Amino acid sequence: MSKKSFRQAINEALRQEMRRDPTVILMGEDVAGGRGGSAGTADAWGGVLGVTKGLYEEFGETRVLDTPITEASYIGAAAGAAVTGLRPVAELMFVDFVGCCLDQIMNQAAKFRYMFGGKARTPLVIRAMYGAGFNAAAQHSQALYPLFTHIPGLKVVIPSSPYEAKGLLISAIRDDDPVIFLENKVMYDVEEDVPDEPYAIPLGEANLTREGDDVTIVAFGRMVGMANEAADRLAKKGISCTVIDPRTTSPLDSETILECVADTGRLVIVDESSPRCNMATDIAALVAEEAFDALRAPIRRVVPPHTPVPFATVLETLYMPSVEKIEAAVTATMNHRVTEKV
Amino acid sequence: MQIARETLLRSYRAMRTIRMFEERLHVEFATGEIPGFVHLYCGEEASAVGVCANLTDNDTIASTHRGHGHCIAKGVEVAGMMAEIYGRSTGVCRGKGGSMHIADLACGMLGANGIVGGGPPLICGAALSHKTLRDGGVAVAFYGDGASNEGTTLESLNLASVWQLPAVFVVEDNGYGEATAASFACAGTQKARAAGFGMPYIECDGSDYFAVHEAAGEAIAHARAGKGPVMLHVHLQRWYGHFEGDAMTYRAPNEVAEAKRDHDCLKLFRERVTQAGLFEDSVLDEVDAAVTDEIEAAVMQAKDDPLPQSADLLADVYVRY
Ligand SMILES: Cc1ncc(C[n+]2csc(CCOP(=O)(O)OP(=O)(O)O)c2C)c(N)n1
C-alpha cells in the first residue's frame, strides 16, 4: 500500500494487466508519443497527460501502439481486434472526440454479441477523459456518460478515486464486453492509498461511501468527492446522509439505490453531465417507479444547465455542480413538508 | 508575380501581429493568467498571411486548434481575440469560446476548431454556399498534417471533387501532430492523396511569404474560376510546443533552433524587400513599433475588461431561448 495519484493508479492497472496477459495491448494518439520525432525518443509523452508513461519502454511497439489521428479507424480496429482474440485498451483522449468514431462503438462493438446470437466476445476497453473544470470549453469538457449508457451492450465505468480507478480498470480489462472507462481530467493528481498488488472491483456493484438516515445522495465520478464533502458539512448541522457511488452507469446497481432510498426517504442525485436524459433523470425515473411510497420529499437533481460548457472561469463555475449546490439541495429536501390533501 | 506595395505592407504587419500576439501569449500563459489550452502558431505566420492576402471578406476560411494566426490573417480584431482568450465578456465570442473557438463570421472566419478534422467538411458546405449563391467566393480549409489523416478530411477531399466545389485545402505541414511525427503517421504523400481525389496539387515553402502568396494565388484563382478544388501543401515549422506547457521532448533542440535561424518568415521577408529596395528598414521598424503598442494595449485592455455575467450562461443556446 502506498499513496498514488489517480494517474499512477491507472498506469499501474494497465502495467499489471499487460504483464499478466500478453493479449492486452494499448493504442491511441501519443499513448507513447514521439514516434518519428527528431529527438529519437519514441516514448516522449505517455499520452497527453502522461497517464501511459513508461509502458512503451516496458512493453515495446507491439503492445503499445501509437496511432495516427484517426479515431474512426483505430477505435474500429480495437473493436475488430477485440472480437478476434486481443484485449485492446484504446485511448480516445478527450471523450468529446467520440463524435469522430461513434459508429464503431455504437453500431459495431456494442452490438456484436447480441447481433451474432451471443457468439461474440468483445473484450475492448475505451479510456477517455471527461468533464469540465479545466477551461477547456465546449469541445473538450463534456461528460458524455449518458450517451454511452443509452446504448445497450456497452458497460460504462466512472471511477471516483485512485483506489477505485485501479480496481475498476483491472475489472474492465478482464471483462469480455466493450467497456467505456471515463476518467475525470481534473482528478489526475488526486492521491490516496492504493494497494501495490492487483485487485479487481466488480462492475455493476455500487459503493456506499457513507451511510446515514436522512437523505440518500447518488453521485458519479468527481461528484462523489463533492457529495461526501457536502455530507460532512451537513453532518455538522445534524443531517445525516448516505452517499452512493454507483461506479458504473451500465450496468446500474438499482437495487442498492432503491434500498437506500427506502431507508432515508429522500433522494438527491448529483450528475455533471447535461441535464436532459442524463443519469439523474434515469435514476429519478427508477425511484419514482419503484420506490414512490418511500419518498418523503420530491427527488432533487444537482446538474448543470442545458447549455454547452462555457470557457470563461466565472461561467464554468456557475455551470458546474458544487459542494454548496449539493448542500443546498439536501437542505431543501429536508425542509420539504408534505401537505396533506383535504 | 507582382504584389502591390500596400499588400506587402499589410501582410508584413499581419505576420508581425501574429508573431507578437503569440510571443506575448507565451509569456502571459507562463504567469498562469490565461485559462485553458493555448496552441501557438509562431513560425507559421507566412502561411496564414500568404493565403489570406488572396482572399476578401466575402471568402470563407475554417481553422484549427492552432487558430490565432488564421484569425488575424483573415482580419479578426486583435483586441477582441485577446479579450476572448482572457475569458472576458468583450471577447469576440463573449468569453464563451476561448482560444480554440475564436470565430468571426462577419469577416468570413468560420472558427478555430477544437476538433481535429472538424474544418474540412464545414468548408465543403461554405464552398457549396458560395457556388449556389453565385457570390464569387471561395472557401479555404486550413488543417495540419495530423488532421490530413482524419476520415473527415479525406471524405471532404472526395466530396469537394465530386461536387466541383470552389474549395482550397491547405495542408499546413509542420511535421508533427502533437508529439508524433508526420513521417510516422502519414502514409503515402499529400500529393498522391490530391491525385487520388482528382484535384490539382501545389506545394510551397511556408517560410517564404512570396512563395505562399503565389502558390495560394494560383490555387484560389483556380477554385474561383469554377474549376473545382485544389490542395495546397505548405511546409513549415512550429516554434513552440504542441500546446503551452509542452517541453517538446520529442524534438531535437537544434531542430527548432535551425528553424528560427534559417526559416524565420519575418526575417526572410524583411531581407527580401529591403534588398530589393522596396522598403527601407525604418518603414518596417515603424510597423513593428505600432504592432508592439497594439499588442500591449490589447493585453492591458483584456486584463481590465469585464467578466461575463451569470445571465450570459444560458444566453445563445438557441436563437430564442
Ligand atoms: C478529433 C480529435 N482528435 C484528437 C484531438 C487532439 N489533438 C488536438 S491537436 C492534435 C494534433 C493535430 O496535429 P496537426 O493536424 O498536424 O496540427 P498541428 O497541431 O501540427 O498544427 C490532436 C491530436 C482533437 N482535438 N480532436
What is the spatial distance between Cα B250 and Cα A212, in angstroms, rounded to a whole number?
52
3-class secondary structure, A12? helix
Regarding the beta carbon of B68 and ligand 1, being less than 6 Å apart is answered: no
Regarding the beta carbon of B41 and ligand 1, being less than 6 Å apart is answered: no
pLDDT computed for residue A340 by the predictor = 55
Mean pLDDT value across residues A178-199: 98
| pLDDT exceeds 60 at position A342 | no
CATH 3.20.20.70 fits B5-74+114-298, yes or no: no
pLDDT computed for residue B2 by the predictor = 86
On average, the pLDDT of chain B sits at 97
* Among A80, A185, A95, A85, residue whose Cα is nearest residue A132: A185
The residue of chain A with its CA nearest to that of B87 is: A312
The residue of chain A with its CA nearest to that of B177 is: A69
Regarding the beta carbon of B118 and ligand 1, being less than 6 Å apart is answered: no
CATH class of A2-194: alpha beta
Mean pLDDT value across residues A221-240: 98
User: Which of A58-78 are b and which e, b meaning 16 or more Cβ less than 10 Å from the residue's Cβ?
Assistant: ebeeebbbbbbbbbbbbbbbb
Q: Report pLDDT digits (tens) over A51-62.
A: 999 999 999 999
| pLDDT exceeds 90 at position A23 | yes
| pLDDT exceeds 70 at position B321 | no
Residue A140: active-site member: yes
Q: Report pLDDT digits (tens) over B133-183.
A: 999 999 999 999 999 999 999 999 999 999 999 999 999 999 999 999 999
CA of A119 to the centre of ligand 1 (A): 38
* Among B189, B197, B53, residue whose Cα is nearest residue B124: B197
Residue labelled with grid coordinates 455504437: A106
Regarding the beta carbon of B173 and ligand 1, being less than 6 Å apart is answered: no
pLDDT computed for residue A337 by the predictor = 80
Contacts of B149 in chain A (CB under 8 A): 68-70
On average, the pLDDT of chain A sits at 97
Cis peptide bond prior to B306, omega within 30° of 0: no
Q: Report pLDDT digits (tens) over A122-141.
A: 999 999 999 999 999 999 99
Pocket test for ligand 1, best of A48, A74, A93 (most atoms within 8 A of CB): A93
* Among A117, A129, A122, residue whose Cα is nearest residue A104: A122
Pocket test for ligand 1, best of B41, B45, B65, B251 (most atoms within 8 A of CB): B65
Confidence of residue A339 (pLDDT cuts 50, 70, 90): low
| pLDDT exceeds 60 at position A106 | yes
Confidence of residue A158 (pLDDT cuts 50, 70, 90): very high
Regarding the beta carbon of B200 and ligand 1, being less than 6 Å apart is answered: no
Residue labelled with grid coordinates 469576440: B92
CB A208 within 8 A of CB A160: no
Nearest CA owner, ligand 1 atom 5: B116
| pLDDT exceeds 80 at position B285 | yes
Contacts of B117 in chain A (CB under 8 A): 69, 100
The residue of chain A with its CA nearest to that of B185 is: A68
First to last CA, chain B: 52
Q: Report pLDDT digits (tens) over B78-125.
A: 999 999 999 999 999 999 999 999 999 999 999 999 999 999 999 999
Contacts of A325 in chain B (CB under 8 A): none
* Among A276, A128, A184, residue whose Cα is nearest residue B317: A276
CA of B146 to the centre of ligand 1 (A): 6
* Among B210, B196, B62, B86, residue whose Cα is nearest residue B142: B62
Which residues is A300 bridged to in the sheet?
A268
**Exposed, middle or buried, B238 (CB in 10 Å: 0-12/13-18/19+)?**
buried
Every domain of chain A with CATH number 3.40.50.920 lies at: 207-335
How many Cβ atoms sit within 10 Å of the Cβ of residue B247?
A: 9
Residue A197 vs residues A2, A62, B88, B186: alpha-carbon distances, Å: 11, 25, 48, 40
The residue of chain A with its CA nearest to that of B243 is: A48
Regarding the beta carbon of B177 and ligand 1, being less than 6 Å apart is answered: yes
What is the spatial distance between Cα B317 and Cα B321, in angstroms, rounded to a whole number?
7
The residue type at A295: L
Residue labelled with grid coordinates 497527453: A48
Residue B138 vs residues B48, B130, B200, B222: alpha-carbon distances, Å: 15, 6, 16, 10
Catalytic residue among A140, A150, A306, A336: A140
| pLDDT exceeds 60 at position A314 | yes
The domain A207-335: what is its CATH number? Answer: 3.40.50.920
pTM of the model: 0.97
Q: Report pLDDT digits (tens) over B244-274.
A: 999 999 999 999 999 999 999 999 999 999 9
Confidence of residue A338 (pLDDT cuts 50, 70, 90): low
Q: Does A186 touch chain B (CB under 8 A)?
A: no
Domain ranges of chain B: 5-74+114-298
Instruction: Look up the ipTM and state it.
Output: 0.95
CA B17 to chain A, closest CA, distance in angstroms equals 24
Cβ-proximal residues to B292 (8 Å cutoff; 6+ apart), any chain: B20
| pLDDT exceeds 80 at position B194 | yes
